[in-house]
Amino acid sequence: MRESATGGSALNGRYARAPMTLDLRPLVALTFALALAVGGLGACKGSERSDVTGVTSPDATRDEAKRAGESGAPFAVLATKNTQRVPLDSGPGLAAAVATAVFPGRDQRPGAVALADTGDWRAALVASVLMAPPLRAPLLLTDQGELPGETAAALDLLTPTGAPQAAGAQAIRLATAGDPGGELRTASIAGDDPYTLALNVAEYRARVARRYSRSVLVVPADDPAYAMPAAAWAAKSGDPILFASRRTIPGPTRRALRAHRHPRIYLLGPRSAVSRGVEAQLGTLGTVTRITGGSPQTTAIAFARFIDGAFGWGIVDPGHGMVLADPKRPLDAGAAAALSASGAYGPLLLTAEDGGLPPPLRDYLQDIRPGYSNDPVRGVYNRAWIVGGPDAVPAATQAEVDGLLEIAPVNSTSESP
């Protein structure tokens, strides 16, 4: 069994940047109040629509956007030169904004969407694998079995075309997710507990992909912050997520691993989350590699750095995307997973518990910071999505991340642009 943990790295100097002083608060409120109302109308069945009043942003989404814009921050919270924020704090609103950003319309429409309920972060986490090819199904959220206005509006904008690999299904409901209603063709994946649901999602994924994955992620069922980074990789790779408890491997997880016929098992989290005994038991079902750090934040960094053949992000150099989220909001991992599997692909990283930038993450961003010798136009660039409003990831944290992502001169003779 192998173990990968975060390690220290030498820094090549810091390039301090003053925070941006332009106040874009009105833009934040305006953009996200209108995002679901008009941002994707071109997606609606590929034609012009006259019933614009029927596709409006729900009051909750407008209120959240307004709060984000009135947060009191003296600089941009919607976007900086190297970051873009999705400043919505409700799960349904966040998932809807992500899905419509990834599939903005016209010839960019999903075949299907996945549906999970806001009260079940584990269902949202395992649903992320459905975003991988061939389905490419982003996640939307229901609330206590009902369809929130944000989700209904997103469905109207996305207008899923129907996934041939899923018998034409346009929506795939997981566990207790609500019925989207209307005329959408809907498939369901059942599961009375998270272990059985994860097994059934893995089986469903294998059927639509016509193969079992050679790699599987096993994450703690009861330590969500350690599990969160798995969503981004599952959405990108199609490697399914299974759950283990601290001291046992539940029966459905064992059955899933046996079906994969001795896969490579990548176990996220320390022994305090999943014990050495469970790791040994997993070793009888596949080849186990534990990826861990001393905290959820450093485990996420270890996973971002990790690579083993075709598995892993392997991000140890500049020129990548990434997603930054609050470890206290595990539902956000599934809601934002589509951002890691499209555009500037990249891993999920975690803030400190107070929303600040943990020193190991600061060092990691500095370590992979882009540089240039002569002309920054010829360089590579890092980009980051910030997930949630300023209460989740403060504007000051976003500003610090922006500075650490900025391309910088690598020798004393270079001039700043």
Contact (Cβ atoms closer than 8 angstroms) between residue 221 and residue 195: yes
Helices 149-158 and 59-69, interaxial angle, to 10°?
100
The mean pLDDT of the chain is 85
126: amino acid identity, one letter:
V
In angstroms, the CA 230 to CA 158 distance is: 25
Query: For 206-231, how does the pLDDT look when each residue is reduced to its tens digit (9 = 90+)?
Result: 999 999 999 999 999 999 999 999 99
Residue 157 has pLDDT above 90, yes or no: yes
* φ, ψ for residue 210, nearest 5 deg: 65, 30
pLDDT band at 63 (very low <50, low <70, confident <90, very high): low
Identify the CA nearest to 126 among candidates 193, 59, 68, 202: 202
% pLDDT > 70, the chain: 80
Residue 332, classified by CB atoms within 10 Å of its CB into exposed (0-12), middle (13-18) or buried (19+), is buried
User: pTM for the full model?
Assistant: 0.83
Identify the CA nearest to 293 among candidates 349, 367, 355: 349
Calculate the alpha carbon distances from 390 to 69, 357, 393, 397 in Å: 9, 13, 5, 9
Domain segments of the chain as ranges: 2-409
Query: For 247-256, how does the pLDDT look when each residue is reduced to its tens digit (9 = 90+)?
Result: 999 999 999 9
